[in-house]
Amino acid sequence: MSDKYNKEEPSLLQKIQDKTGCLFLVIGVAMLAFVLTDLVGSGSSIFGSNQSSVGSIAGESISYEEYNNSYEAMKQQVLQNNPGFQMTDEIAQQYKDQAWNLLVDAKTINKEHEKLGIAISPAELTDLTIGKNTHTQIRRSFLNQETQQFDKQRLIRFLKEEIHNDEKAKQSWETFQEQFTAGLKAEKYNNLIAGSFYTTELDARVENKENRQTINANIVSLIYAQNLDSSITVTDSDIMSYVNRNKSKYEKDASRDIEFVRLRVVPSSKDSAKMLSWAGDLIEGFTNSKDDSAFVSNNISETYYNGRFLVRGSFSPSIETRIFAADKGQVVGPFEENGVYSLFKISDIGTDSLRSVQGSHIFFSVAGNDTAKAEADAKEVLAKIRSGETTFELEASSRNFDATRSTGGDMGFVREESRAYPPRLVKRLLSSSQGNYFIARSNRGIHLAKTTSSVSKKTVKVAILDRLIFPSTETDDRYYKSAGALVTGVNSETSFEDMAENEHLTKRVANNITEESRTIPGIPNSSKVARWLFDGNTSKGDISSIIDLDGDYIVARVTEIREEGLPSAEDLRTEVETLVKNEKLAEKLAPKMESALANANSAEELAKELGTIVSAVPAASFAGTSLPYLGQDLKISGTIFGVPTGSHSKVITGKSAVAVVYVNNENTYDAGNLEEDKKNLTSEAKRSAQNVATEALKKKADIKDQRYRFYD
């Protein structure tokens, strides 16, 4: 089957499938293929204008209704097959993308299958299902729970009995068959494309020569940067003439520039004081509570009550010592960390079956088998620590390569039998007195370490009552009013920048924003801004309304609108001006070089005539195109391979200089095995065939993804 969805790092969807081992979730992901049959065929939509379009594929507008029905069908199938499953925003986004990708396939790749007559016969399906060649995807879905091997009898029982007694199972199987068949068609198509690639002996010989051959040559050049002419000027007409001769390089998608401010709404000191007061008011009630789980739930804590005993190392180092020092029933806090205010109640105290201890280490790697040298280094560092010449933390920060590099060697609490650190090191930490240094060998190297706490077997059951601090309505209003002042204050006399300064806001800019690439530095989710920016009624100079972005406020102004095609001379001047100057300079330098070339019998004579030097290129190759003094100049480096041995080229007008190439000789090279090269080239072409064909079809389809109009 096609593996086009399996080449990337496993998505959240795939991870869910892997964990369930259930066929129904696998087929749930395929639901869209079943739904698309009717949707794609009918092309029906209650919307008629581009305002309802989420994009276009192969010239066909995709309506919001068509796309959203596909997405909702996929989502509902997964929720139906997995009761209690939480559809997070991140997972939902992956389903949205998959719904779009399947629409793209249906309107591009699947149409190619139809044109080519690619189909799957009933006999093929039978063979790949209950026949002798059951497909791997089906084999994995019907495993014997004890042996974890494919259970064909379970599959047959499912097909003969279960799907006839369970309508949902039947529908799911039919959906799976649709997607399974589509995958088999894709596999046939890919094999058809790959089978059309082959390599001739001439192809192999040319590739062999290009990869292995090098040429000894000399270059005489007049470099533009060393022959500047202040009389040369570049007009807008010159720029556009150059750009029109190189259209493919400079044609751009429609784009827009903006200037904007982002008001990050953060809690005020007054908000923090209110949260501190909230926590303080709950201490007595929390202490006297007989049902900690209910108390935490009723007070809408961010952290659910889990009722498990926890060992040392389970909490933030800044609060853990106080938690483990508290008595049963005591409330510790409030603490504030990363904008969260927390109270911790010790619901119960227990004893761990294993010991825990806190320690620090400095790591010394062993070069080769020289363990003695690493130990000597550790002893030397220990002496310096004891004398005050250095500190343990400083040495750990420069020598360690694990997480302790950023903590000055502090390992936190390590539990007995933990595999986070070498067993020998953990054992020595547990047996050493607090504050003592020791040197330990491990399978990783040498450790200079110290135990920094007493050994503990204590565990605690903790109820956590915490809340994230949010800006109050009063705080939010203050930021909103500031954003409003910016929207209304800009006029013919007061610029956007001036108004931002008046409100003590920092103006930022974002250029060349396109519908396809809507990334705006400083704005994590730019869809809302793009929705306004690319609205048909938005013009240059317009200011947005206040855009609410996950609690922050954005105000933006359009500073430039560029249509699709060639940019203006003004926009291109920075990029093109030097290139045009070089062209004009080449027109002056080329005749000078041609005149000198007519009187020179060697590279040395030409260089002397021009007052320059001869650049030696002892081994020019197609793989290494950088030239001495010239850098990457493909026109000059390419000419080397077109000049006969013992001859010289005409005057070349290159990217960085005008030049003449002298070829001294072709260096000898190993011709290699042509048959092996033919096989390798053919294999490489076959491997890339699928992606090449798919990308070509999608490029031809001119896909425009405008889902941002409806989805954040």
DSSP string for 637-681:
HHHHTTSPTT-B---EE-SSEEEEEEEEEEPP-----HHHHHHHH
Whether 345 and 330 have beta carbons less than 8 Å apart is answered as: yes
Whether 223 and 659 have beta carbons less than 8 Å apart is answered as: no
Q: What is the pLDDT of residue 1?
A: 32
Q: What is the pLDDT of residue 651?
A: 97
Q: In this structure, what token pair is assigned to residue 428? A: 């020595």
Q: CA 235, CA 212: separation in Å to the nearest integer? A: 45
Q: Which residues contact 337 (CB under 8 A, 6 or more apart)?
A: 316, 318, 319
Q: CA 119, CA 192: separation in Å to the nearest integer? A: 13
Q: What is the pLDDT of residue 635?
A: 94
Q: Which residues contact 369 (CB under 8 A, 6 or more apart)?
A: none
- Three-state helix/strand/coil letters over 422-468: CHHHHHHHHHCCCCCEEEEECCCCEEEEEECCCCEEEEEEEEEEEEE
pLDDT along the chain (712 residues), means of 10: 34 36 36 34 37 86 89 79 75 88 87 88 86 84 80 83 77 76 85 87 86 92 94 95 92 92 93 91 93 92 90 88 92 90 94 93 88 92 93 93 90 88 92 92 91 93 92 93 92 89 92 88 87 91 92 93 90 93 96 95 95 94 86 93 95 96 91 84 84 85 87 77
Amino acid at 89: D
In the Cβ-directed half-sphere of 698, how many Cα atoms lie within 13 Å?
Answer: 16
- Residue ranges and CATH numbers for the domains of the chain are 12-194 (no CATH), 215-251+571-666 (no CATH), 270-468 (3.10.50.40), 472-562 (no CATH)
Alpha helices in 534-673 (DSSP H): 569-598, 603-610, 634-640
Nearest of 392, 274, 259, 440 to residue 341 by alpha carbon: 274
Q: What is the pLDDT of residue 42?
A: 35
C-alpha torsion angle, residues 516, 521, 522, 526 (rounded to 10) = 0
Q: Omega into 471 within 30° of 0, i.e. cis?
A: no
**DSSP type of residue 159:** I
Whether 597 and 660 have beta carbons less than 8 Å apart is answered as: yes
Distance of CA 372 to the CA centre of its chain: 44
**Of all helices (H) and strands (E), which one includes residue 153?**
helix 152-157
Whether 190 and 690 have beta carbons less than 8 Å apart is answered as: yes
> To 5 degrees, how large is the angle CA 34–CA 38–CA 44?
140
> To 5 degrees, how large is the angle CA 285–CA 287–CA 293?
80
Residue count of the chain, please give it. 712
CB atoms within 10 A of CB 39: 20
Q: CA 588, CA 268: separation in Å to the nearest integer? A: 68
Alpha helices in 213-348 (DSSP H): 236-245, 247-250, 269-288, 292-298, 317-325
Q: Which residues contact 546 (CB under 8 A, 6 or more apart)?
A: 480, 483, 484, 487, 553, 554, 555
> To 5 degrees, how large is the angle CA 520–CA 523–CA 524?
105
In the Cβ-directed half-sphere of 407, how many Cα atoms lie within 13 Å?
Answer: 13
Whether 190 and 689 have beta carbons less than 8 Å apart is answered as: yes
